[in-house]
Amino acid sequence: MHPPRAAVAGRTASPTTARLINDRLALQLLQSEGPLTAGQLKSLTGLSRPTVADLVERLQEAGLITVVGESGAQRRGPNARLYGIVADRAHLVGLDLRTHSVTVAVADLLGRVRAEHTVLIDPDGAPDTAVATALAAVDKALAAAGAHAPHTIAVGAPGLVDPATGRLGGTDWIPSWHVGLVGALRARTGAPVLLENEVNLAAIAEQRDGAAHDRDTFVLLWLGQGTGAAVVLDGTLRRGASGGTGEIGFLPVPGTGALPSASGCDGGFHSLAGSTAICALAAEHGLPYGAAVGPNGADAPSSGTGAKPSSGTGAHEPSSGTGAPTEAPPAESLVRSAVAAGDAGVAFLDALAARIALGVAAVCAVLDPGCVVLGGEIGRGGGAALADRVAGHLARLSPLRTDVRAGAVGGRAVLLGAVLAARDAAQNELFGAAGPGASPRP
């Protein structure tokens, strides 16, 4: 159990505001610690016994907490009652959109995933058909979770999300059905739909449950079919003026023989560290998978805003779930093979780490995050072996001490980040509305 949080009883506030603050504090403790007795809530909050008794009654009347058991085998009575959040008070939906697939997860108010479903999308099919297929996947996942309607939906997609409008845009290559699906979800469910860049959601997952769980400031470097980054400073996700923070594929770097342009990132960091470039590097070192291929054997596109994927997982790293492809992308497979090969894979891994370190050094020079997490299929495939090599090269390029870590969440990082984002939004609404006047959402 964590140490007691700062008490709020001494704050100057109106009685109504004080009640809301106390209620929210208690709910946050029940979220983080699990079921607690009234005595434990008193100890952790620093509130008086009568104040705790009042807030417990209010939260029960609001349908947010309930008695879930008793504390201690020998204890009985009101003081032994364990209170917990009513998990089914709200159902949350997270979506991970790719070019060729959609994965849907339905979770309860505690963030526990109750159902997950993946469907494949024909990228050459009609946008309306793709939207209908995705909506059917949402319906199927909700039914499997026993949920009638979602309280909040969060969608992770490649591309830029305008912070001012919340709309997806800035790149011509984004499938039109991605935009259409967001509108269709709002119209069909009536629930709030949050849209976020997929790499940003992966960073949320890594901070809450992964490699950056102990960091308030870090950068997630996403290495997959495209390259991207998410920036978290002082606990806050930074999106930039136009939502373009982390478009590291456009970073000019030595060794590419060209410069990126406004219409494409070929010649930038992407040309060193995208999966197509990594597969080519592997071929130079005599490893398998000399060229990257996309789904169904088609040549995988290089990335670049305005024409092709510039960041995130894209279509070539499907999440797990019913109906999802399970074979790892070529770049991930070859990096894993190099790690497993021991001495035979060292030269390739070292060359790859040197490339990645160029991008990391630039990030460190500007942001000094202190911690960089390697995510995406390449970060996942390389694990600690690759991260340690990147750290070694980085130490020779930058005077700033930076911890380089392998991502720990795995291939479902975007999906889990979406669930966490939906949970946060739902709790902000429900926990802020706790009290006799609060009414359940349908």
pLDDT digits (tens, 9 = 90+) for 175-214: 889 989 999 999 999 999 999 999 999 999 999 999 999 9
User: Taking 70 as the threshold, does the pLDDT of residue 378 lie above it?
Assistant: yes
Q: What does the mean pLDDT of the chain come to?
A: 86
Closest CA to 263 of 310, 312, 307: 307
Q: Which of 25-29, 147-151, 167-171, 260-264 shows the lowest per-residue confidence on average (mean pLDDT)?
A: 167-171
pLDDT: which is higher, 49 or 16:
49
Query: CA 33 to CA 373: how far, in whole Å?
Result: 27
Q: Please give the model's pTM, rounded to 2 decimal places.
A: 0.85
Question: What pLDDT, on the 0 to 100 scale, is given for residue 12?
Answer: 63
Task: Check whether 318 has a pLDDT greater than 60.
Answer: no
Rounded to an integer, the average pLDDT of 365-385 is 97
CATH of 89-200+416-431, one of 3.30.420.40, 3.30.450.90, 2.60.200.20, 3.40.30.10: 3.30.420.40
Tokens 């930039």 sit on residue: 240
Which has more confidence, 252 or 438?
252
Identify the architecture of domain 211-409 in CATH: 2-Layer Sandwich (3.30)
pLDDT at res. 343: 94
Is 372 in contact with 218 (CB distance < 8 Å)? yes
Instruction: Produce one character per residue of 130-152: b if its CB has 16 or more CB atoms within 10 Å, e if not.
Output: bbebbbebbebbbeebebeebbb
**Residue 247 predicted with pLDDT over 60:** yes
Domains 89-200+416-431 and 211-409 agree in fold: yes
Residue 325 has pLDDT above 60, yes or no: no
Q: Round to whole Å and give the CA distance between 69 and 195.
A: 38
**326 compared with 385, residue with greater pLDDT:** 385
Of the candidates 109, 113, 166, 198, the one whose C-alpha atom is nearest the C-alpha of residue 428 is 109
The maximal CA–CA distance of the chain, rounded, in angstroms, is: 75
* Sequence spans of domains, the chain: 15-85, 89-200+416-431, 211-409
What's residue 147's pLDDT?
95
- pLDDT of residue 337 exceeding 80, the answer is yes
Distances in whole angstroms, Cα of residue 189 to Cα of each of 98, 168, 286: 22, 20, 52
pLDDT confidence band for 228 (50 / 70 / 90): very high
Residue position matching structure tokens 């136009």: 242
Report which of residues 168 and 10 the model is more confident about: 168
Mean pLDDT calculated for residue range 110-115? 95
List Cβ neighbours of 424 (8 Å cut-off, separation of 6 or more): none
Are 309 and 174 a contacting pair, CB within 8 Å? no
Q: What are the tens digits of pLDDT across the range 273-288?
A: 999 999 999 999 998 6
Q: What class has domain 15-85?
A: mainly alpha
More confident residue, 12 or 174: 174
Q: Please tell me the predicted confidence (pLDDT) of residue 300.
A: 34
Write out pLDDT tens, residues 58-106: 999 999 999 999 887 546 666 789 999 999 999 999 999 998 999 999 9
Q: What is the pLDDT of residue 309?
A: 40
Helix (H, G, I), strand (E, B) or coil at 45: helix
